[in-house]
Amino acid sequence: LESFLPLFVDVFSDRLAKYMHAAGEKELTRRFTELEFRDLVVRQIEKRFPDQVSGLQTRIQPDGFVGSGNVRLGILRFSVEVRIGITVVNEKPHAIIQEVRVGKLFVPGPLKRMLEDRVNALIDRADYPLKVKQYSLKQGYALISVELKE
């Protein structure tokens, strides 16, 4: 999870920035559905890690994203489900990990907070091509307003 959340942000911002460059847009406000999010991000993650992750599913809800899938570490294979809220801090996404379940076990609060701190530290240090101006979630879609960095 620590590696995947920043990677989701990285893939999404890079692909969106390429689209904006191709369209000659410096700013964009757009509604992204669950299907579009899967096409933009989830499929790219599965391509990058074909042996480690499979069956990724995402849902967008007003209080955040719900993601699930199967993870393989060595000979171990287990299901993972996460609920993550997203806010904007300093024009970047900021993750709020609401719940993590590995198999049937819930990850305890202190471990969730440590994971959240690590994820946000990676996101804060990253140099994304976009600045997030506005971000809100509704049932089934995200409304995002971004601009390209100069």
- pTM equals 0.85
Q: Residue 134: its pLDDT value, please? A: 92
Handedness of CA 6, 8, 12, 18 (dihedral sign): positive
Strands, sheet with 130-138, edge to edge from the N-terminal-most edge strand: 27-33, 141-148, 130-138
Mean pLDDT, the chain cut into blocks of 10 residues (150 residues total): 80 90 95 88 81 90 93 92 94 94 95 95 94 94 93
Q: Residue 4: its pLDDT value, please? A: 75
Q: Residue 9: its pLDDT value, please? A: 87
Q: Residue 1: its pLDDT value, please? A: 65
